Amino acid sequence: MTAQPTLEIRNLSVKFPGRHGTVTALDDVSLTIQPGEILGVVGESGAGKSMTGLAVLRLLEPPGHISGGEVLLNGHRIDNLPEHEMEKIRGREIGAIFQDPLTSLNPLFSVGRQLVETIRLHSPMSKAAARLRAVELLAEVGIPAPAERVDHFPHQFSGGMRQRVVIALALAARPKLVIADEPTTALDVSIQAQITALLRRLCKDNGTAVMLVTHDMGVIAETADRVAVMYAGRLVEIGPVADVVARPSHPYTRGLMGSIPTLGARVPRLQQIDGAMPRLDAIPPGCAFNPRCPLVHDRCRSERPNLRAAASGLAACWLAAASEEKAA
Amino acid sequence: MIVFLVKRLANAALVMLAVALMAFLIFRFVGDPVQLMVNEQTTQAEKDALREGLGLNDPVAVQFLRFVGNAVQGDFGVSYRNQQEVMSLIAERLPATIELVLLATIISLVVGVPLGVITAIHRGTWYSEGLQFLSIIGVSLPSFVIGILLILVFSVMLNVSPAFGRGEVVSIGWWTTGLLTPSGRAALILPSVALSLYQITLVMRLVRAEMMEVLRSDFIKFARARGVPRWRVYYVHALRNCLMPVVTMTAMNIGSLIAFALITETVFQWPGMGMLFIQAVTFVDIPVMAAYLCIVSFIFVALNTLVDITYALIDPRLRTARG
């Protein structure tokens, strides 16, 4: 872990000023991703998973903005770069894949034209050369008959095929980091596995770091190396995937794990976490999870826990270290 | 694509037939054409001969078919007022109106589309809001007021542009054009600006609304995420997705501009179809009115058909979906 991380996020906060006061969408989030590593980011809707990705890409919808902290790509700060510098980083250094492949492609341009556009933006070459490269990329992401398909329009592809095209576009310039925001959520289950496997293979082959944002713990368990769990805009637990799955330290993570159905094991009823995540403008004092936590005690209601060493890695829970001691 | 084309053309023909029926009914049943054509001294025998000669004693269906047959060949009969072929009257006036309308359309697109894009991208800034406010004025001012104001400022006060007429024209075959002479071009400017002002605001507001819609879509975010520069996202990716309604509206409006240019034509004494129609109404010149109806409808239908075909060219999804 001494190598230069591809992505390092330090104490990142994102705020949305609104009519009814400012909402803190991301609160003091810190994490790193090493080259070739896949970091899964999980959490409920609105927990700040996608927000983290968009903040790194600097594509937050105004009035949302980074209000504190730093984002470093290969050791260089990118959170304060002017927009035209950022345009050179997007696509070239950081690739992005969004949730819905059906709407990620411009319906009026052939996939070839969109690929050629992206390729030529990042490495100057003739249209003919870029077209050959586009066909190569399509073949790489497993699209049959790529030489013919390159001239087809997005609507002529199925959902899974379109997401392959999106991956080809995201990886066209061989970025060092890929932010994949729910890349498989809109797809059939059978296609999901193919797409995650494809993403994993391509990134491992190229040594690309991946931030895989999803709410599907199954996808994380299969694909990721490490996992970060988010809740109400904060990071609550981060650690190697096997440890977090096997020995979750935060009660919220435990709840998430309990809600995954497992084949074979006869469980009468899936566990669920009672209640709902608080609205971002009404986060309770102390630990944000305290109203839903089965193990809540007084300190959780008044003092906010920071990330600290736990059985699984780091966890933001007053009980995490204690339970560690008990286990030991 | 061919099936699509044939379908659209058949559709268009059907609509034209319906319009022809209406024009025919006006022609046949608004007053007795014979009464309208003769004077008090005409004898009954002469009237009967005229009636027979015009084929008015044939069954209605036969008369309608004859009317359609003639109309297809461009024969709408003779004007009651000056005993001229209606078609040659219209052919004389059509170029003036078409030049006026086309120039107004071009102005409205060239000015309106960029304004729409700019106000959509920079919404909230003072100049964007200012343009929005001006566009409300543009939409609400009636075109004759604009015309009179333009004449007042540019012709009367500044004296830089003629106040009425078409200037010198050059004939190319049956087409007369004002574009080739300095006075013709000068005369064209004020009326086409007056006519385009309303269109500019419409195009601008439409493009603005569409742009704001499209800019929210995922493929725009994805285009930015793969490093497409901002101006390219706006003008290549977003704008093209806005064009469909703009094309529709522009083409539809060319039809209405031709039909309703008559206000502007009256203000500027522009010798176009609108003026012809106004005169025809004053004199109950039914053949001219029927022909005007048919020709304006034909232009409408032709434009509609063209719009559908252009859709297929802009949007690849329509090419296969309905082929």
Residue B57 resides in a domain: no
Q: Which of residues 74-133 of B touch A (CB under 8 A)?
A: none
Model confidence over B206-251: pLDDT tens digits? 999 998 888 888 889 889 888 888 888 888 888 888 887 888 888 8
Give the domain range for residue B210: 89-273
The domain tally of chain B equals 1
When pLDDT is cut at 50, 70 and 90, the band that residue B322 belongs to is: very low
How far, in Å, are A136, A230, A237 from residue A49 at the CA level?
A: 32, 7, 13
Q: How far apart are CA B178 and CA B191, in angstroms?
A: 13
pLDDT of residue A113: 92
CA distance A287 to chain B (A): 34
CB-based contact, B223 to chain A, within 8 Å: yes
Residue among A83, A98, A107 whose CB faces B317 most closely: A107
pLDDT of residue A135: 94
Model confidence over B257-267: pLDDT tens digits? 887 688 888 88
| Residues B199 and B242: beta-carbon distance below 8 Å | no
Angle at the Cα of A99 (from A98 to A100), degrees rounded to 5?
105
Residue B108 resides in a domain: yes
Residue B265 resides in a domain: yes
What is the separation of C-alpha A314 from the centre of its chain, rounded to a whole number of angstroms? 18
pLDDT of residue B309: 77
pLDDT of residue B33: 67
Q: Which helix (H) or strand (E) holds A321?
A: helix A318-327
Residue B178 resides in a domain: yes
Using an 8 Å CB-CB cutoff, list chain B residues near A91: 225-228
Closest CA in chain A for residue B230: A87
Using an 8 Å CB-CB cutoff, list chain A residues near B315: 107-108
For the cut 90, the answer to whether the pLDDT of residue A17 exceeds it is no
Say whether A153 and B237 touch across the interface (CB within 8 A).
Answer: no
User: Please, what is the average pLDDT of chain A?
Assistant: 85
Q: Residue A60 gets which letter from DSSP?
A: P
Say whether B314 and A96 touch across the interface (CB within 8 A).
Answer: no
Chain A residues whose C-beta is within 8 A of a chain B C-beta are 57, 59, 83-84, 87-92, 95-96, 98, 100, 103-110, 117-118, 121-122, 153, 155-156, 166, 169-170, 172-173
pLDDT of residue A265: 61
Long-range contacts of B314-323 (CB under 8 A, 24+ apart): B314/A108, B314/B240, B314/B243, B314/B244, B314/B247, B315/A107, B315/A108, B315/B244, B316/A107, B316/A108, B316/A110, B316/A153, B316/A155, B317/A107, B317/A153, B317/A155, B319/B1, B320/A156, B322/B4, B323/B1, B323/B2, B323/B3, B323/B4
Q: Which residue of B226, B232, B236 is the best one to mutate when testing the A interface, meaning the one whose CB has the most A CBs within 10 A? A: B226
Q: Which of residues 224-283 of B touch A (CB under 8 A)?
A: 224-230, 237, 240-241
pLDDT of residue A98: 86
For the cut 90, the answer to whether the pLDDT of residue A19 exceeds it is no
Model confidence over A109-132: pLDDT tens digits? 999 999 999 999 988 899 999 999
pLDDT of residue A111: 92
pLDDT of residue B240: 86
What mean pLDDT is predicted for residues B42-56? 77
CB-based contact, B320 to chain A, within 8 Å: yes
CB pairs under 8 A between A and B: 76
CA distance B109 to chain A (A): 21
Residue B212: which CATH number?
A: 1.10.3720.10
User: Please, what is the average pLDDT of chain B?
Assistant: 81
Model confidence over B85-114: pLDDT tens digits? 888 888 888 888 888 888 999 999 999 999
When pLDDT is cut at 50, 70 and 90, the band that residue B50 belongs to is: confident
Residue B109 resides in a domain: yes
For the cut 90, the answer to whether the pLDDT of residue B187 exceeds it is no
Give the alpha-carbon dihedral of A232, A235, A240, A243, to 10 degrees. -60
Say whether B218 and A88 touch across the interface (CB within 8 A).
Answer: no
CA atoms within 13 A on the CB side of B108: 32
Q: Give residues with Cβ within 8 angstroms of A285, minimum separation 6.
A: A301, A302, A304
User: Which is more confident, B124 or A8?
Assistant: A8
Percent of chain B with pLDDT over 90: 2
CB-based contact, B221 to chain A, within 8 Å: yes
Residue B126 resides in a domain: yes
Closest CA in chain B for residue A105: B219
pLDDT of residue B323: 38
Model confidence over A214-252: pLDDT tens digits? 888 888 888 889 999 998 888 888 999 888 888 888 888
pLDDT of residue B321: 47
Q: How far apart are CA B7 and CA A152, in angstroms?
A: 26
Say whether B218 and A104 touch across the interface (CB within 8 A).
Answer: yes
pLDDT of residue A216: 82
Using an 8 Å CB-CB cutoff, list chain A residues near B222: 96, 98, 104-105, 166, 169
When pLDDT is cut at 50, 70 and 90, the band that residue A325 belongs to is: very low
Report which listed range, A1-15, B119-133, B151-165, B194-208, is most confident: B194-208
* Phi, psi for A237 (deg, rounded to 5): -160, 140
Say whether A95 and B226 touch across the interface (CB within 8 A).
Answer: yes
Residue B151 resides in a domain: yes
Residue B218 resides in a domain: yes
Report which listed range, B13-17, B134-138, B139-143, B278-282, is most confident: B13-17
Nearest to A117 by CA among B243, B317, B233, B114: B233
Say whether B222 and A104 touch across the interface (CB within 8 A).
Answer: yes
Q: Give residues with Cβ within 8 angstroms of A164, minimum separation 6.
A: A138, A141, A142, A143, A195, A198
| Residues B323 and B4: beta-carbon distance below 8 Å | yes
Nearest to A52 by CA among A25, A22, A83: A25
